[in-house]
Amino acid sequence: MRYFLNHIFEPIQNVYYDKTSGNGNMYQSTITIGAVILVTTMIKLFQRWVHDNEKITELNNITLTMELSGLRNQINPHFLFNMLNGIKALVRTDQEKAVIVIMKLSEFLRYQLYENNEEKILLKSEIIFLTNFLDLEKLRRDNLSVDISPSKDDPLISRSIFIPPNLFTTFVENAVKHSVNIAGDESYIKINIEVEKDKLYFTCINSIDPEYIPSKGKSNGLGLANIKRRLELLYSHSHSLEINVSEKEYNVKLIIPL
């Protein structure tokens, strides 16, 4: 800057400009510009540090809110009461099936209480959790059809793929809630998870009964808003979420980097 001013503007104003001082001015300019770059870089890094800390804090708060909300919605007395009643009935009619249901309920509760505290979990754990959750839901609804791909025995989930916990739970909960058919007709939930190169593709499709209107509570829609914000904080612009609703079907497509 100093070199530019001295060699362009000063000669115009002063015809007796001494060009022998150019080297000294060059050194001064280098020191000045170096100091400016150092200070502005420090300011920029500080701003980024503050911004990243704000994102981390907000992400932790949203994650905590979702975990508490999940515990309230899933591990509540009404849910456990229905499950235990179902097990009680099975003990009298089919003891082997009752044992299987108890094991699924145990795995379900263990995941919700312990594995949720981890920053990342195996994809296998998430699939097993969703499978147990939907299997338990099927006990309450005779006309619910569930299809999860890959299954727990698929080679895909034996790979060491890690994702944030409860990333798909909100979408599956919504699928369970909105797939209720008041006429008692067949309803369905289809979940598909694929991994290609460095991306994970999650799809959740469920049937809709146009005549069924879910109850509107304080938390209605909050879970979906939280997961959208959580995805933004986790992946910024590197993820894709599409939600399409038709008269008879609800379709969620999520793509995240691994």
**80-129 per-position pLDDT tens digit:** 676 777 777 778 887 887 888 888 788 777 777 776 667 788 888 888 88
Classify domain 114-257 by CATH number. Answer: 3.30.565.10
Separation between Cα atoms, residue 50 and residue 43, nearest integer Å: 11
The per-residue pLDDT for 16 is: 44
Count H helices and E strands in the chain, helices first.
8, 7
Sort strands 144-149 and 187-196 into parallel, antiparallel or unpaired: parallel
Distance between CA atoms of residues 124 and 189, nearest Å = 19
Q: What is the pLDDT of residue 69?
A: 55
Beta carbons within 8 Å of 117's beta carbon, 6+ residues apart: none
CB count, 10 Å around CB of 127? 21
Q: Would you list the domain boundaries of the chain?
A: 2-44, 114-257
Answer whether the bond into residue 150 is a cis peptide, omega within 30°: yes
Q: CA–CA separation, 128 vs 136, rounded Å?
A: 12
Regions of the chain where pLDDT drops below 70: 1-29, 63-80, 82, 115-117, 152-153, 156-158, 212-222
Residue (of 193, 155, 158) closest to 172 by Cα position: 193
